[in-house]
Amino acid sequence: MLSEILGILESLLLIVFLGGLGILVAMVIRVVSKTALEGDEYRPEYDPRIGLWRYHRQTRFQEKPLLPDGPPSEASPSGSRLGLLPRLLIGIFALVRGLARVVLVGPKTEKSEPLAKHDSEAEEPAPRRVAVLRFNAAKDVHANGDLRLAESVDEVLVNRDHFEEVVVIIDSPGGAVHGYGHAFALLQRLRDADLKLTACIDRIGASGGYLMALPAHQIIASPFALVGSIGVVAGIPNIRKLLEEHGVSWRLFVAGDRKRVVHFADEDGPDVKQYMDEKLEAIHRQFLEAIEKLRGDRVKLDEIRSGDHWTAQESIAKNLGLVDALQTSSEYLLERNRERALVFVDQRVDLSERLSSYFPLALESALEKFLGRTTT
């Protein structure tokens, strides 16, 4: 009985040890990657696998080649993805190889200039592709995905000559003005770069979600997707009376008459309501001006300015101009894939990929700095 208990304890200790070792390795990878690869010396690097430049370390390009004309051959292998353990082994092998190259051969002495033409590019024109970006904020009223979207937009603009169109798949009911206003400005960068921009709405693109779709040259939505909600709303609970019932007074000290006009214990006088009405009306007017500028005569401003929402099919039937065509994003991408290869700009980089690519480079760069060697 005692031996069995000791065996269980040994197993638990082994699991705790391995878990702690894994956490330690992950922390070392993170620290070295940040210090060595995200500094001012970082430059875009060429990815020969897909022929694009990677500007952000966390970006991974996933290409879907041009669809064949006929049905797939039954004799062709179906292909399979490697599991986590084989990928980790490959990553560890790449790490050891990179370390050995630094110790035995020395650090590299040349760095390619960012965005310099690759040898294969000099002979053949760059293939034209369709970039695919996703913005899923169905439960995010603050549009926290705008920073990730900003990196994706950077990647597209760095590889501008390789793309003829950008498709952005949006799923959002809207939310905070500043967050979705930033997302709107990010997609406007793509339009300003003379890239064809298509916005696809499969489930909901309302309020701020529709605002960020405005820079698109065409907006495509599935029939039952919700669009519209061209309005602005703000609310804050007022507990002044509740505090008074319990003998609690609220004291607020500010410098500046308009520094804190609205708070949860104000007197809610007419001046406060007028102030908020003016603020909301200004944002609403800016929203409508963006629609008028980017959608032009296609939109019936007098009908959509109420803040109401519609299904995409209803919008088409009433000729509101909110949507240009009824189609799901998968259907549209399938059609485009018959003409052009698709490149999905994704941010997910797993541990094995980091071990096999980023960490050896980070370690090499850190050793270069430690040994005092400079590169040209």
- Separation of alpha carbons 284 and 286, rounded Å: 5
End-to-end alpha-carbon separation of the chain, Å? Answer: 67
Instruction: Specify whether 207 is catalytic.
Output: yes
Yes or no: say if 63 and 341 are a contact pair by the CB < 8 Å rule: yes
Marked catalytic residue, from 76, 139, 241, 259: 259
Marked catalytic residue, from 207, 222, 315, 329: 207
In this structure, what token pair is assigned to residue 329?
A: 């994003």
- Separation of alpha carbons 157 and 145, rounded Å: 19
Angle between helices 177-192 and 146-158 (to 10 degrees): 10
In this structure, what token pair is assigned to residue 52?
A: 């694009």
| Amino acid at the residue 95 | L
Instruction: Specify whether 259 is catalytic.
Output: yes
- Separation of alpha carbons 58 and 154, rounded Å: 12
Question: Could you give the angle at the alpha carbon of 280 between the alpha carbons of 275 and 281, nearest 5°?
Answer: 95
Please report, for residues 66, 125, 127, the alpha-carbon distance to residue 120 in angstroms, rounded to integers and kept in the order given: 20, 9, 11
Active site residues: 207, 259
